[in-house]
Amino acid sequence: MTEGPALARVRAAYRRIAETDRPEIWIDLRPQPDVEAEARALDARAAAGERLPLAGTALAVKGNIDVAGLPTTAGCPGYAYRPEQDAGAVARLRATGAIVLGTTNLDQFATGLVGTRSPYGAVRNAVDPTRVSGGSSSGSAVAVALGIADLALGTDTAGSGRVPAALNGVVGLKPTYGAVPTSGVVPACRSLDCVSVFARTVAEAELAHALLVDGPPEPPARRAGPWRIAVPDPDQLGELDPGWDIVWAAAVRRLADAGAELLPLDLTPFSCAAELLYQGAFVAERYTAVGAFVESHAGKEYLDPVVAAIVTAARDIPAHRLFVDQERLARLRAAALAELGDADALLLPTTPGHPTLDEVAADPVGVNSRMGRFTNSTNLFGLCALAVPAGTVGAGLPFGVMLIGRPHTEDRLGSVAGLLTGPAPVRLAVVGAHLSGEPLNGQLLDLGARLVESTTTAPEYRLHALATSPSKPGLVRVAEGGAAIQAEVWELPAEGLGRLLAALPEPMALGRVRLADGSAVTGFLCEGVALAGAPDITAHGGWRAYRAASGRVPGAGPAGPSGAG
């Protein structure tokens, strides 16, 4: 029986979990048979005509958000409890077809921006495992970045839904406070906490946000450009890691080149408010949330010492300091909104740098504090934000920027982000000469393509060995008697795909190829006329296996077109 899309996606997710071998991502991973049973039921509902916008979407959930049947730990085993029902945000996504894989690791009690403050282990960066993944929603961001999950839920109080997005090259959407229900969420600072979304693209994040919100947002003043973007003077950004000023300036230029009007902005009120979050009285709310537990379990091995010190120190902040800080914050917010003026968004780097695990170990408080320089003020001011990838820096590390807007302007931020990211990259399935290590793989690399996943096609195809040079196969879809063929999915710029198509020789063609998870992507197919006399090699399961069995050397073959495969 052919797998339904949801079941295929679940199986692909668990294969990816095994491939990546990153156990520190998870606190509790659901047993695969249980998740497959849920997927089969979803496939049946979808086949019956039920509208499920997220049907088969693989979802990861931060470990301080309730998932029925799994313990909620907030990153602390001794705190764990087993909820009887899903948190409001989880329930809404599940109702539209999302499938929860498990709960993810985090900085304990959502206190941190590094992803290392957990007895379950430090969550390593998706691109460079010697560096931090960012916190506190570390596991959720890395699960999406590594292609395990399509969407993930995090929380954001000081930047926890944006910092890990930037450091792992994914999208992080922090909604307006109160727009997404926080029922079933272990609080960090209840008056500031937001449930955030991680996704690979802005469009996927926006869809999830639309399904999560309590009600329709207030319509923004404008929904179309030309966009007015506030940008601070580079001198106000403070010290950045080497090279970060260059990629930041490039992001600003992209906005200007795309027609945005850049407006000057004094960052001072934002920076002053950012310091208030931990250095002022507002941190006392963290003691309100979990202070009694931390004090009654002092010295236990499952309490992170840095987190425990932050929470317990907040106990002794006098009440009068809170009122002083509230008054100061009100003045700073008024000044910040005046600076924002009629701009559609404020553009900032998401973080000032990307520390290593060793740097955090040497200075856990100082390095963590630096990470919140640009994110800490957003929730204090009641604003929304969208963190998006904006290139790479250094040895291929992700660099991200953040768009901050007035309440309920998330859709506007998404539109502006399109100016930064340009046309969405396209995915291309390859089964032959363009596979990693094969003779034509260099064509993809020259176009800026990156490998997304190793997978198989849906069981609907036959594979034939063509008489070409270099040697390559021809993939054809059949009505019956098909099989799953080993494939790789690569992501490349849209213009790169156009260049491939323009140079594509006969008998190759580009078409839609269905994958094991039920999705369809552009892929290399073969014209039927070329199959006469071409051996059917489907039984080998893929091009590499055929070559290994037949002893064929990569690139060997009779003279012929050098097309793709």
- The alpha carbon torsion through 529, 534, 537, 543 (nearest 10 deg) reads -80
Query: SS3 of 43, please?
Result: helix
Half-sphere exposure of 462 (CA within 13 A, CB side): 14
Q: Residue 350, Cβ neighbours under 10 Å: how many?
A: 29
Chain centroid offset of residue 551 CA: 41
What is d(CA 252, CA 241) in angstroms, rounded to the nearest whole number? 17
Q: Residue 243 has which token pair?
A: 């090279």
- Sole residue written with tokens 């070329």: 530
**Helix pair angle (202-212, 410-421), 10° resolution:** 170
Active-site residue flag, 160: yes
H-type alpha helices, 48-191: 88-95, 138-145, 163-168
What is d(CA 42, CA 48) in angstroms, rounded to the nearest whole number? 10
Active-site residue flag, 296: no
The residue annotated as part of the active site, out of 62, 196, 472, 519, is 62
Which residues, other chains included, contact 177 with Cβ-Cβ below 8 Å and sequence gap of 6+?
192, 194, 379, 382, 407
Contact 294, 302 (CB under 8 A): no
**Helix pair angle (305-313, 284-296), 10° resolution:** 120
The residue annotated as part of the active site, out of 137, 138, 160, 471, is 160
Active-site residue flag, 133: no
Contact 317, 281 (CB under 8 A): yes
Please, is 468 exposed, middle or buried when counting C-beta atoms within 10 Å of its C-beta (0-12, 13-18, 19+)? buried
- Sole residue written with tokens 């859709």: 411
- CB contact burial 429-451 (16+ within 10 A = b; e otherwise): bbbbbbbeebbbbebbeebebeb
Contact 477, 528 (CB under 8 A): no
- CB contact burial 358-367 (16+ within 10 A = b; e otherwise): ebbeeebeeb
Query: SS3 of 145, please?
Result: helix
β-bridge pairing 384-393 and 397-405:
antiparallel
Please, is 38 exposed, middle or buried when counting C-beta atoms within 10 Å of its C-beta (0-12, 13-18, 19+)? middle
What is d(CA 418, CA 203) in angstroms, rounded to the nearest whole number? 10
Which residues, other chains included, contact 339 with Cβ-Cβ below 8 Å and sequence gap of 6+?
230, 265, 266, 267, 269
The residue annotated as part of the active site, out of 118, 133, 136, 519, is 136
What is d(CA 520, CA 514) in angstroms, rounded to the nearest whole number? 4
* Catalytic residue set: 62, 136, 160
